[in-house]
Structure 1
């Protein structure tokens, strides 16, 4: 057995163990939403939409059931071409708390979603701003529990992912390794790296929003959720990731294909922020190859290696499985798929290669727009 094989095997096992330990420890710091809601302060909900006819009705219907007494809901249409506006107008006619703002799309230099949220905030008056995606549906106490979490944690920003409505392979093949990568560079409380923000659901105080310069300061940002949470943190605000998955669901990730397209869009957008499409493609390509190796190597070492190499491969496999199991359980799903964590890491690497190719090719990358 060569010295290089031993060192490489040991390095893989150590890296896998370190990443797993960080993921497990990080999730232990994520607290659930409080049991009791807090009905205090006006909350302004802003929903950016673009061709969301399949989801916006359920989103608005659930928000209209909120028990929070002082609530306004502003839907900002980003040049939809389907029945989205028609559906929203039905809710406007039925509930005075719901309003519609229409735009012709973002001006030069603005990302579409960011511009829509910026326009929405201008139409609100609440001391709290709640940004939700149109593919979410909320339990009646979601708003009150988010406000209660902000009070409990003395936080300026509270964010939570949505629970899957249809658990599927996209969660353990793509989202689990994404979560591990996220916690390599970001933290739930913003204490290291970037602050975690989940675009599904972000509650922020207007005072903290104003201190950041608002969405105007992030006008061209396509990876807007983490960027916004980090801006709030950097402006002196306290940010917290919480587990609110008992109170909000997301149907936008209900199939492997939907997860793949959504993640690829975020990768392309995030890569472009590195230094343009070419630099982003290079970073994504390298990351993809590394993740494929990260997933394939433990399997080959465990099945074909001998002695220390096999033990190191098994240790790396077990560590990767532990990280993935933690995420799946945190997402209120079965952790049984964790044994296939190396397959997930390799699949995630393939997705990064796809995103690298899309970064070079450009074109219609998300709802008719090039988001590089």
Structure 2
């Protein structure tokens, strides 16, 4: 009886979550829509931090160089962050063929800095543009991506425009976990408030694609003010808001794509490094997140089995309805991200994997071992 009442409450919460996700999906702007031509061809500095990106950097640069730059000019600066592969060699050879590319050889990482923050800091020091595009090496931009995001940023007069590229996934762990980044945003962050509110609470960004106005970057103190931040994109978004600039979170799925991780190990290491840090290392917030996702997405399939085996069809019916609602919420978010709707069927498995990574993220902080990523250890 009690479990049935709990499942009834879960169904109501999931119905509310579905409505919220639908509203958010419609509110997420697509760059370039109903925007004017850019005047005076501003210079955009495309800044790419690269550490062991041999498999990505050439294709990334080719896509950038193939962009429609009729309304702006670009310079491309790549920071070779002590790569152990041929990342620097590839960039050097491409720079000899295209004067728009420059290669920066990385310095030794100073004490107190996180690797990506320092790379972006050094890149910004060398940039000449009035706009900086912080771009990860695994991103493939479309021909109109830079033009359309620049148009939207200038029209809306924002200091920062960021968005989630379409996520290309190759293994099941990638398919289950990687799309959860955008799922969390669409299910918990009221999208209209990102643009309208000056509060830091309504901030989000994806570090793979961040277009930042130079004056906004300088106003927040650049990456030097964020040098020890593990989740630097979220920290930059909050800092831009705090400095009095507006920001825009956009749907980049039609403008850019990326394969963020290759295989289960990279997914595990990448997310466990960031997840607890992204919650401000707040144990109460983490516990609340674990409880929320367990109740909404793990409890229903367990209750369904209990209902079926015990002959409690009332419980089974509410459990099945809760599972269907949870899958629909996931499908709505996946469709908005440019992914197949059928992946929502695996919502329970997705949440199980995500919660396991969350616990590993917390454990890495508790046992003092931290987490390893690309040969560096982070506490």
TM superposition score category, shorter chain reference: 0.7 to 0.9
Answer yes or no: is the 8 Å Cα contact 1:24–1:326 preserved in 2: yes
Shift in alpha-carbon separation, 1:53–1:285, aligned structure 2, 3 A: farther
Offset at residue 326 of structure 1 (A) = 1.3
Q: CA RMSD in A?
A: 2.6
Shift in alpha-carbon separation, 1:111–1:285, aligned structure 2, 3 A: same
Give the match for residue 53 of structure 1.
Answer: 54
Offset at residue 133 of structure 1 (A) = 0.2
Give the match for residue 234 of structure 1.
Answer: 242
* Runs of 5+ unmatched residues, structure 2: none
- Give, in whole Å, the separation in 2 of the partners of 1:22 and 1:364: 34
1:249 lines up with 2:257 in the alignment: yes
Match of 1:353 among 342, 350, 359: 359
1:301 lines up with 2:303 in the alignment: yes
Give the match for residue 376 of structure 2.
Answer: 369
Shift in alpha-carbon separation, 1:10–1:303, aligned structure 2, 3 A: same
Match of 1:339 among 345, 355, 359: 345
- Give, in whole Å, the separation in 1 of the partners of 2:166 and 2:274: 19
- Give, in whole Å, the separation in 2 of the partners of 1:283 and 1:358: 17
1:313 lines up with 2:311 in the alignment: no
Shift in alpha-carbon separation, 1:37–1:225, aligned structure 2, 3 A: farther
Structure 1 runs, 4 residues or longer, greater than 6 Å off? none
Aligned residues: 364
Query: Could you list the per-position Cα deviations for residues 133-182 of structure 1 after superposition, in whole angstroms to 9, with x for gaps in the alignment?
Result: 01111222221111112134332221122223445534552134443433
Offset at residue 363 of structure 1 (A) = 5.2
Offset at residue 225 of structure 1 (A) = 1.0
Query: Could you list the per-position Cα deviations for residues 229-261 of structure 1 after superposition, in whole angstroms to 9, with x for gaps in the alignment?
Result: 121122221111212222212122354544333
- Give, in whole Å, the separation in 2 of the partners of 1:253 and 1:291: 24
Shift in alpha-carbon separation, 1:150–1:236, aligned structure 2, 3 A: same
Shift in alpha-carbon separation, 1:66–1:180, aligned structure 2, 3 A: closer
Answer yes or no: is the 8 Å Cα contact 1:37–1:141 preserved in 2: no
Shift in alpha-carbon separation, 1:363–1:297, aligned structure 2, 3 A: closer
TM-score, normalised via structure 1 length: 0.88
Mean Cα deviation higher: 262-271 or 176-185: 176-185
